[in-house]
Amino acid sequence: MYIPRLVLGSILYFFPHVVAERQAKQRPNIILIVADDLGWNDVSFHGSQQIPTPNIDRLARQGIILNNYYVTPICTPSRSSLLTGKYPIHLGTQHNVLNGVEPWGLGLEEITLPQYLKKGGYVNHIVGKWHLGFFSENYLPTNRGFDSHFGYWLGHSDYFDHSGQEWGDWGLDLRNNLDVVRNLTGRYATDLFTKRAERIIHTHNTSTPLFLYLAHLAVHSANEYDPLQTTKRYYDRFPHIKHEGRRLFAGMVAGLDESVGRVYRSLKDRGMDKNSVIVFTTDNGGPAASFDYNYANNWPLRGVKDTLWEGGVRGSAFIWSPLLKNTGRVSTQLMHISDWLPTILSAAELNDVITRADINNPIDGIDQWSALSENTPSARTEVLLNIDHDRNVYALRVKNYKIILGTTYNGDWDNWYPPEGTNITYASMKQAPAAVKCAPPLNPGTPQSCMPLKGPCLFDLANDPCEYHNLADQQPEVLQRMLDRLTIYNTTVVPPRNQPPDPAGKPERHGYVWAPWK
Ligand SMILES: *[C@@H]1O[C@H](CO)[C@@H](O)[C@H](O)[C@H]1NC(C)=O
Ligand SMILES: *[C@@H]1O[C@H](CO)[C@@H](O)[C@H](O)[C@H]1NC(C)=O
Ligand SMILES: *[C@@H]1O[C@H](CO)[C@@H](O)[C@H](O)[C@H]1NC(C)=O
Ligand SMILES: *[C@@H]1O[C@H](CO)[C@@H](O)[C@H](O)[C@H]1NC(C)=O
Over residues 327-353, the pLDDT tens digits come to: 999 999 999 999 999 999 999 999 888
Q: Are 117 and 350 in contact (CB under 8 A)?
A: yes
Percent of the chain, pLDDT > 70?
91
Give the CA angle between residues 156, 81, 199 to the nearest 5°: 55
**Any ligand 2 atom below 6 A from CB of 205:** yes
Query: Which atom belonging to ligand 2 lies closest to the Cα atom of 208?
Result: 2
1: Cβ contacts below 8 Å, ≥ 6 apart: none
Percent of the chain, pLDDT > 90?
85
Over residues 297-326, the pLDDT tens digits come to: 999 999 999 999 999 999 999 999 999 999
Q: How confident is the model at residue 426 (pLDDT cuts 50, 70, 90)?
A: low
Q: Mind giving me the DSSP string for 460-479?
A: ETTT-TT-----TTT-HHHH
Identify which of 389, 457, 487 to mutate to test ligand 4's pocket (most ligand atoms within 8 A of the CB): 389
Residue 463 neighbours by CB distance under 10 Å:
12
Nearest CA to ligand 2 atom 13: 205
> Distance between CA 199 and CA 212 in Å, rounded?
11
Query: Which atom belonging to ligand 2 lies closest to the Cα atom of 206?
Result: 1
Q: How confident is the model at residue 12 (pLDDT cuts 50, 70, 90)?
A: very low
Q: What is the mean pLDDT of the chain?
A: 92
User: In which residue ranges of the chain is CATH 3.40.720.10 found?
Assistant: 27-380+495-510
| Choice among 28-32, 317-321, 397-401, 421-425 with the minimum mean pLDDT | 421-425
Identify which of 202, 205, 206, 208 to mutate to test ligand 2's pocket (most ligand atoms within 8 A of the CB): 205
Nearest CA to ligand 2 atom 10: 205
Q: How confident is the model at residue 14 (pLDDT cuts 50, 70, 90)?
A: very low
Over residues 199-241, the pLDDT tens digits come to: 999 999 999 999 999 999 999 999 999 999 999 999 999 999 9
> Distance between CA 334 and CA 424 in Å, rounded?
28
Over residues 430-452, the pLDDT tens digits come to: 566 677 877 667 776 677 789 89
What fold does the segment set 27-380+495-510 form as a domain? Alkaline Phosphatase, subunit A (3.40.720)
Identify which of 384, 490, 492, 493 to mutate to test ligand 4's pocket (most ligand atoms within 8 A of the CB): 490
Average confidence (pLDDT) over 395-418: 95
Better-scored residue on pLDDT, 6 or 509? 509
> Distance between CA 159 and CA 378 in Å, rounded?
39
Q: Residues lining ligand 3, judged by CB closer than 6 Å?
A: 242, 421-423
Q: Are 127 and 160 in contact (CB under 8 A)?
A: no
Give the CA angle between residues 440, 445, 448 to the nearest 5°: 60
Q: Which of 38, 42, 60 is nearest to 52 (CA)?
A: 42
**Any ligand 4 atom below 6 A from CB of 394:** yes
Q: Are 457 and 395 in contact (CB under 8 A)?
A: no
Q: Which of 210, 90, 211, 223 is nearest to 152 (CA)?
A: 223
Ligand nearest to the CA of 89: 4
User: In which residue ranges of the chain is CATH 3.30.1120 found?
Assistant: 388-490
Over residues 36-82, the pLDDT tens digits come to: 999 999 999 998 888 999 999 999 999 999 999 999 999 999 999 99
**CATH number belonging to domain 388-490:** 3.30.1120
> Distance between CA 434 and CA 47 in Å, rounded?
7
Q: Is the predicted pLDDT of residue 34 greater than 50, yes or no?
A: yes
**Any ligand 2 atom below 6 A from CB of 207:** yes
pTM: 0.94
Q: What is the pLDDT of residue 444?
A: 64
Say how many CA atoms lie within 13 Å of 38 toward its Cβ.
32
- Show which residues are catalytic: 75, 131
Nearest CA to ligand 4 atom 2: 490
Ligand nearest to the CA of 208: 2
Q: What is the pLDDT of residue 91?
A: 97
Average confidence (pLDDT) over 409-418: 92
> Distance between CA 405 and CA 385 in Å, rounded?
11
428: Cβ contacts below 8 Å, ≥ 6 apart: 47, 49
Q: How confident is the model at residue 361 (pLDDT cuts 50, 70, 90)?
A: confident
Nearest CA to ligand 3 atom 7: 423
Nearest CA to ligand 2 atom 1: 205
Residue 270 neighbours by CB distance under 10 Å:
16
